[in-house]
Each structure stands twice: as C-alpha cells, then as structure tokens.
Amino acid sequence: MQIDDDTAQQASDELMAAIADKDFPCLGAKSAMARGTLKTVVCRSLRMAVDDVHIHTELIAWVRDYQQDPSGLRSLAVVFAGPDDLDEEQFETAMWGRLQSLAEIDDRRRQPYDSSVSLDPEDPHFSLSFGGAAFFVVGLHPAASRPARRMPRPTLVFNLHDQFERLREEGVYERMREKILSRDEALAGSINPMLARHGETSEARQYSGRLVDDSWRCPFHDPRADDARH
C-alpha cells in the first residue's frame, strides 16, 4: 500500500508549519525552507523496511545535487506516516533500524564510505555515510522530551556534513550554532545536554534526541567495518 497524495501533502505541510513556527529554534532548517532546499520524502512506517530502497535512492540523488551546487543550507527530511505513539526508546530503536537498513543498502550498492569520517559509532569522528558523503541525522517525533525535537510524525532529517564544514571555513558556523542554542534554551528552559561538536564525542548519541548516559551503546554496525578488518 502506497502513501496517497493527500496524506503525503498533509505530512509535508505539517513539517513545514512546525519549522515555520516563530519559536522553532533551528535556523538552518528555517533557512533551507526559505530557500526551497528543504526536501520532504513521505514514507509509510518508521518500523517497516518497505520504503528503504526509495529513501536510499533519494539520498544518493541528494548527494549528487549538492555536489553540483554546494551553496547554502539544505536538508532532506524523511517523514513517516506513523506510528505516532512511540515513546523515546521505541522511536530510537525504530530509527536505528532504518539507518542500519540504509547502510546495508549503501553497501550492497557498492557506495564508498566517506573517508573524512569514521564508520565506528563509538568513535568521536563517527558519521553515517550514504553515496560516499557523510550525513548527520536529526530524529524528530511527537513524544520527544526536547520541544525542538517534537513533530507531528516520526521524521528523520539528513544533513550533509560537508555543508557545515563549509560554514566553518566561512566563519559562519559558530555564530549560527550559538544563536540556535540560545533559541533552544529559550524554548526548553535549558541547553540540550546531548549537543556536542563533531570530534568531541560520537554524534550517534545525538541522533534520536533522547538523553542517554555513558553506558549507552549505539545499536548500529556498518557492514563495511568488517571489510576494513581484512
């Protein structure tokens, strides 16, 4: 069963409306939406693999489009029609299920892992890689404890690492980051304790938005890690 056009449009409109809200803190998402470089892909269930090949194909195309025009900020938001009743741990489990599947598809399609990042989720330099490009993922869902992570439907936002490296080179990244942190604190009443710069701690801890302690271990294993040992 495919997503019908009305449901897809509604899911996309809900996401855009949430980002457009004046209190939504992420200036990068607002900028991408204003520029028309925030693309939404609407799929069926976060707990099902039925749309994973389609999602991966969209990610590959997203990488190629960025390589042709790397200007500005852009995000690919994969919005799932459901389920909308997952708690934070259930969302995290389903999210990593999708990301694991996407990594296996990337491997089967013989895509290289971005050599600028680590494929070990325990490494501070870890990032996901699709189509040879590193991605940071932001998980959003109705039951998120952080207000900035709450969305009407389960959503995975894929951001290319390279665009943030370009912002650093342009001297823009730190200023934008500080503004986002300030806006997030105003919205939630506190700074997000899970936020860290790339290279300080594994970004895998940040993807779901759930507060985790030092005992947490990422439930992800890229199949290319096995090849690297041989």
29 lies in which domain range?
A: 5-228
Average pLDDT over residues 186-213: 86
pLDDT at 211: 92
What is the model's pLDDT at position 229? 47
> Which has more pLDDT, 174 or 48?
48
Whether 104 shows a pLDDT value over 70: the answer reads yes
pLDDT of residue 228: 54
pTM (2 d.p.):
0.94
DSSP secondary structure of the chain: -PPPHHHHHHHHHHHHHHHHSTT---HHHHHHHHHT-EEEEEEEETT--TTHHHHHHHHHHHHHHHHH---S--EEEEEEEE-----HHHHHHHHHHHHHHHHHHHHHTTPPPPTTSBS-TTSTTB-EEETTEEEEEEEE-TT-SSGGG--SS-EEEEEEHHHHHHHHHTT-HHHHHHHHHHHHHHHHSS--TT---TTTS-GGGGTT-----TT-------THHHHHT-
Number of domains composing the chain: 1
Averaged confidence pLDDT in the chain = 93
Q: Answer whether residue 198 shows pLDDT above 70.
A: no
Predicted pLDDT of residue 97: 98
Q: What is the pLDDT of residue 227?
A: 73
Instruction: Identify which has the larger pLDDT, 164 or 54.
Output: 54
Q: Kindly give the pairing relationship between strand 133-140 and strand 155-160.
A: antiparallel
Summarised one tens digit per residue, pLDDT across range 112-132 is 999 999 999 999 999 999 999
